[in-house]
A and B are shown apart, each in its own frame.
Chain A
C-alpha cells in the first residue's frame, strides 16, 4: 500500500505568479521524505500539487509531469477525486469537521466513498484510530465533537481520518507547527509507524524534525521574493544534515539564512 512518486519539471502558478519552477524529484515507496526551506519557497505548493489540491485555488495551475507508479495524475481522463483518495493529506492546522463527532470524522472519507454498513465503518474507525495512536484516548467518547479534543489529539484525529480511507501516499503540510512539543513527538512517533504502510511526504520548518523523521530530505529555496522556488538539493537526510552538497543548503541548515 505504498507507491512511488515521480515529479518531472513540475512548475506551478498562482494566476500569473510562478511559485515553483522545474521541480524534479522521485519519492520511493515506504519512505519519509521531508521538504524543507525558507518561507515562500514553494514547498507547500509542491506538496499540494502532488494530490491536485493546488488547483482548488482560483487561477492556480500546474505544468509538468507528476506520476504515481507511472500513472500520470494530471492526465485529462483521470478522476481528480480518485487521485486525492489515493494521496491523502494532513494540513497545517488541525481541521476536523466541527459539526461531526470523533467517530463521524474518522469515517467521513469512507462515507464519501459510499461505505454504509455500520460494521465496516466501526472496524475501520477503530483501526484508523489505533494506527493514529488515538484509540485509547477517545474510545469512550467517540460520539463527542471532534473539535473538543486538544490540538494534538485533533491533529491525530485528522491523521486517522486521512488513513482511514487507506491511501497510498500521505502528504503532511507542517503537521506539527500548531502543536506543543509533546504532541509533536507523538506525531513523529506515529510517522515512524506509518511508513511501514504508506509513502509519507512532510513539509516542515523544523529542521530537527526533518532530521529525526525523514529518510530523504529535499531543500527548496528562492533567490529573492517574487522569484519561483526551486529544488536546490535532494539527498539522504543524513547527508543533507552532515555533509550537504550545496553551499545554500549548508547556509540554511546552519541557520545562516532563512
Chain B
C-alpha cells in the first residue's frame, strides 16, 4: 500500500532537500563565531541551532515566573498560619475563663462576670441542619443534573442550567429574608400537619409553636445548596466519555440503564466532591440560618418546634454585644466549626481515595 511510483518521486524530492540541509553546520558555526547571540536572525542556522550549544540563561522569564508561583504558594501558607495563630491566641483565654464545660454545657453566656458557654448544642444544630439540607438537596440536585446532561434537549438544558447558576448568585441574606417572611408560613402549616398525623414520631412531636425550626432552616439551606451540587454534578456527568455511554447502549441498555452503568459510576468521585462542597456551604452558612432558626441552646432532635441554632448563626447573632471574653468564646466556636469542616473534607477524600485504583484509570 502506498508504494506507488508517484509517492516514491515525492520522497526523492524530500531527500534532496535533506542533503542540502547537511551543508548548514559548517556555515552556521562560522556565523555563530561572528554573532553568537543572534541565533534567530534571518539567514542564520534556524531554531534548531548548530555549532556550540549556548549556555542556559541564568535569569529570565522562566526563573522569574517560577519565583512568582513559589511566592504565591508560600503566601497561602503564611496566611493560614497567621489566621490559626490569631484564632488560637484569642480563643484560649476565653476558654480558660469559662466556668462550665465547653463541650457539654447547653447555653451561651460568655459576657457574664462568670462566663458560661458550651459548644455542644451549637455544633449539634450545625451538623443537623446541614445534614438535613443535604438529604433534601442532593437527590433533587442529582435529578436535575442528570436531566440537564442526558435528557433535556440542548437548548432547554443550557437555559435551565443558566437559571440554576443564577440561583447560586442570590445573596444568602435574601434567602434568609424570604425564608423568614414568606417560606415560614407554608412550613408552619406543614409542621402542624406533620405534628397532627406523625406526632408519635419524636422528631415531629412537641406542642408548638412551630415554624422557626430546624425544618425551616434546613429547607432554606437545601435551596441554597442545590445550585452548587447541581452545576458541579452536571459538569461531571457531561464529562462521561461518549465511548463508555455508547458501549452501554450497544449492549442493549436503555437510557436509564446506560446512566447507571456508565455515567453514575464514572461521576462518583465528582458527585462526592460536589456534595462535600455543598456540605461545606451548609455548615458555614450564617445569616440565612440566623434569620430562620428559633435560636435556642439545647440539643433536641425535634425538627418542627421553634428552636435550633448553629455555630455560624450564633456568631452572627451575638457578636454585636460580645465583650472580650465573648469574642474569644465565639472564636473558639469558629475553631470547632473549622474542625468539623476539616473532618468532613478528610472523610470525603478518604472515600475517593479508597476507589483510586478505578478512578485513576478513569481519568
A: residues with CB less than 8 A from B are 51, 53, 56, 58, 81-82, 84-85, 88-89, 91, 93, 95-100, 108-109, 112-113, 144-145, 147-148, 158, 161-162, 165, 207-208, 254-256
Within 8 Å CB of A97, what residues of B? Answer: 244, 247-248, 261-262, 265-266
* B1 adjacent to chain A (CB < 8 Å): yes
**For the complex, what is the distance from the CA of A255 to the CA of B247, rounded to whole Å?**
33
Question: Across the two chains, which residue of chain A brings its CB closest to B2?
Answer: A255
Known contacts A98-B362, A147-B361: A161-B249 contact under CB 8 Å:
no
Question: Across the two chains, which residue of chain B brings its CB closest to A86?
Answer: B252
Known contacts A58-B154, A255-B1: A53-B249 contact under CB 8 Å:
yes
How far, in Å, is B301 (CB) from chain A's closest CB?
37
Contact A99 B247, beta carbon cutoff 8 Å: no
Within 8 Å CB of B253, what residues of A? Answer: 81, 112
Contact B361 A145, beta carbon cutoff 8 Å: yes
* B254 adjacent to chain A (CB < 8 Å): yes
Contact B246 A84, beta carbon cutoff 8 Å: no
- In-complex Cβ contact of A99 among B4, B246, B362 (8 A): B362
B: residues with CB less than 8 A from A are 1-4, 154, 241, 243-244, 246-254, 257, 261-262, 265-266, 268, 355, 357-359, 361-362
Contact B244 A81, beta carbon cutoff 8 Å: no
How far, in Å, is B178 (CB) from chain A's closest CB?
38
Inter-chain pairs besides A56-B249, A95-B247, A145-B357, 5 sampled, C-beta below 8 Å? A53-B246, A88-B250, A98-B266, A98-B361, A99-B355
Contact B358 A98, beta carbon cutoff 8 Å: yes
Known contacts A112-B257, A256-B4: A99-B250 contact under CB 8 Å:
no
Within 8 Å CB of A88, what residues of B? Answer: 250-251
**For the complex, what is the distance from the CA of A97 to the CA of B355, rounded to whole Å?**
14
**For the complex, what is the distance from the CA of A226 to the CA of B303, rounded to whole Å?**
65
Contact B247 A84, beta carbon cutoff 8 Å: no
**For the complex, what is the distance from the CA of A91 to the CA of B250, rounded to whole Å?**
10
**For the complex, what is the distance from the CA of A186 to the CA of B88, rounded to whole Å?**
66
- Jot down 29 A-B pairs with beta carbons below 8 A, ordered by A: A51-B250, A56-B246, A56-B249, A81-B252, A85-B252, A88-B250, A88-B251, A89-B250, A91-B246, A93-B243, A97-B244, A97-B266, A99-B265, A99-B268, A99-B355, A99-B358, A99-B359, A108-B248, A108-B251, A112-B251, A112-B257, A144-B357, A145-B357, A147-B358, A147-B362, A162-B250, A162-B251, A165-B252, A254-B4
Within 8 Å CB of B261, what residues of A? Answer: 97, 108, 112
Question: Across the two chains, which residue of chain A brings its CB closest to B362?
Answer: A98
Within 8 Å CB of A99, what residues of B? Answer: 265-266, 268, 355, 358-359, 362
Within 8 Å CB of B246, what residues of A? Answer: 53, 56, 91, 95
How far, in Å, is B170 (CB) from chain A's closest CB?
33
**For the complex, what is the distance from the CA of A97 to the CA of B265, rounded to whole Å?**
9
**For the complex, what is the distance from the CA of A161 to the CA of B248, rounded to whole Å?**
10
How far, in Å, is A217 (CB) from chain B's closest CB?
15
Contact B252 A84, beta carbon cutoff 8 Å: yes
**For the complex, what is the distance from the CA of A201 to the CA of B323, rounded to whole Å?**
82
Within 8 Å CB of A158, what residues of B? Answer: 247
Known contacts A95-B243, A98-B362, A145-B358: A207-B1 contact under CB 8 Å:
yes
User: Would you list the 4 A-B pairs with minimal beta carbon distance, nearest first?
Assistant: A85-B252, A98-B362, A147-B361, A99-B265
Contact A112 B357, beta carbon cutoff 8 Å: no
Within 8 Å CB of A161, what residues of B? Answer: 247, 251
**For the complex, what is the distance from the CA of A113 to the CA of B254, rounded to whole Å?**
10
Question: Across the two chains, which residue of chain A brings its CB closest to B266?
Answer: A99
Contact A112 B362, beta carbon cutoff 8 Å: no
